[in-house]
Amino acid sequence: MATIFSKIAAGEIPCHKVAENEEFFAFLDINPVAVGHTLVIPKKEVDYLFDIDDAMLGRMMAFAKRVARAQEAVITCKRVGLAVMGLEVPHAHIHLIPIQKESDMYFGGAKLKLSAEELDKIATQIRNEFK
Ligand code: AMP
């Protein structure tokens, strides 16, 4: 059975899309810890990020870097932080989080409350900067 993230990449479940190529897909996290919090996934179903072969993992990181550059262009931040957990969704993903301070990467607290319109606006801005 397809994972929820496969269904998102296939357009079967709606998302706030940020970027896509033939191998990877990026979209806003629905429960962001910071504005612009984005997930990068491989279209191929792999549960654990570190089971991805080296060459593909390299391409995934290069794709994530392009997403991070687009985030930096539209969101005020010192850095784009990167996290990998995968405890909730069994489809490998990289969290890309625009941060001003260390605590912006805290996953255990209350998430931001952003409307669908706000998420849509942020996704559009990042998407327009993606090169
Ligand atoms: P984890 O697997 O622990 O890395 O966490 C999964 C992440 O996916 C969480 O930050 C969720 O908010 C996010 N998430 C789960 N379902 C969706 C969805 N349908 N759209 C966007 N983000 C999601």
Residue 14: predicted pLDDT: 98
**Which tens digit of pLDDT belongs to each residue from 79-115?**
999 999 999 999 999 999 999 999 999 999 999 999 9
What is the number of structural domains in the chain?
1
Minimal-distance CA residue to ligand 1 atom 12: 31
* Ligand 1 contacts CB of residue 82 (under 6 A): no
Q: How confident is the model at residue 71 (pLDDT cuts 50, 70, 90)?
A: very high
CATH number at residue 122: 3.30.428.10
Residue 77's domain comprises 4-129
Cα–Cα separations (whole angstroms), residue 65 to 103, 111, 118:
22, 24, 24
Residue 1: predicted pLDDT: 84
- Please tell me whether residue 70 adopts helix, strand or coil conformation: helix
State how beta strands 17-20 and 79-83 pair.
Answer: unpaired
pTM: 0.98
